[in-house]
Amino acid sequence: MSDLVRLSMSIEKSLYEKLEALVAQSRYTNRSEFLRDMIREHLVEREWESQKELLGTISMVYDHHQRGLSERLTGLQHDFRGTILATTHIHLDHHHCAEMIMVRGRGEDIQRLVDDLHRQRGVLHAKLATSSTGKTLS
């Protein structure tokens, strides 16, 4: 037997209509799955305020012709070797590269890495996508 629980709630009609539009636009097959994902997203946001082990991905675009930048980026990544799980590097064009860095650790350590990477001259963009180890989402 499933551990599903049915619940009933009351919301304003205008808010209900907006919810229905969001569900339809998101192409979910039902409202329940949409709401479950909204709750999980909120739980991940709350998790990032804690000291728990977290998961994330840093997307970064930079000009690899910037003097010394590649060495500085590599040095920073070595400084965070316990936090970085994997790195993917791609060449966008003759001057620009992108890296996706998968990270795991405490939120403040991960954010410090993002900030250190972003501050480097020649880094055009660095953005963290937050996630969870999944331990608190089910």
**pLDDT surpasses 60 at 1:** no
124 plus 58 within the same structural domain: yes
Q: What's the domain range around 23?
A: 13-47
Tens digits of residue pLDDT in 57-77: 999 999 999 999 999 999 999
Beta carbons within 10 angstroms of residue 71's beta carbon:
9
Task: Indicate whether 138 belongs to any domain.
Answer: no
Checking if the pLDDT of 123 tops 70, the result is: yes
82 DSSP assignment? T
Q: What is the number of H-type helices and E-type strands within the chain? A: 4, 4
pLDDT at 33: 92
Look up the CATH number of the domain holding residue 59.
Answer: 3.30.70.1150
Q: Is the pTM of this model over 0.75?
A: yes
Mean pLDDT of 45-62: 89
Q: What is the DSSP string of 62-92?
A: EETTSTTHHHHHHHHHHHTTTTEEEEEEEE-
* The pLDDT of residue 2 is above 80: no
In this structure, the answer to whether residues 32 and 62 fall within a common structural domain is no
Same domain, 67 and 127: yes
Q: Based on the fold, state whether residues 64 and 126 are members of the same structural domain.
A: yes
H/E stretch holding 125 reads strand 123-131
